[in-house]
Chain A
């Protein structure tokens, strides 16, 4: 069955450094992949979508890569700030085209220290 894996251990980094989070998946070839941010007690917030034919996507300090051969997406936050501290979730569409829903990974918690 399809599986989505994110590092369950929290990632601690210093302010100003680049944070890199990983999303791996198996037994599936998604047409796209999405990344979300979730703060405690709140619902996830959509950040970026990257399609299977795109190697890289950028939005301000965020960069996402998508390697369909490795079945992996990397999510980078450059010049990280304490306000970037949150849990980051990757999500892939599952189901028949036109009737798909998103399935989420477990998320990785990012802690940025001043």
Chain B
């Protein structure tokens, strides 16, 4: 297992377009998390899954954001009608259910909305 993979690494999109990001977690991990990070800030929690169930969504996650984890494997994060304020690094992480061994993060997808 090579860790958590995210695709694409970079995405430039025009305002109003839809974008989708993919995350492939470590196969033994049943929890998957999405975070957003802007310059000079720590990662902000967006949502997380235990297997295929989405257990919590942050109030930061507007109706334009949706995440899925079909079959409890990879996950996708879609942003509809992108806005300039959506520009950020989107980080995916996975962990065992108890998180006591920490989260393993991917390298992130940097989104720029122009």
Contact = CB atoms under 8 A, between A and B. Distances in A.
Interface residues of B, number: 25
A101 B41 contact: no
Contacts of A102: 33, 45, 99, 103
Contacts of A45: 105
Contact of B42 (A34, A41, A106): A106
Interface residues of A, number: 27
B107 to A, nearest CB: 5
B39 to A, nearest CB: 10
A101 B33 contact: yes
Interface of B: 4, 33, 35, 40-45, 48, 55-56, 91, 93, 99-108, 110
13 contacts: A4-B42, A44-B43, A45-B105, A46-B102, A49-B101, A49-B102, A89-B42, A101-B33, A102-B33, A102-B103, A104-B42, A106-B40, A106-B41
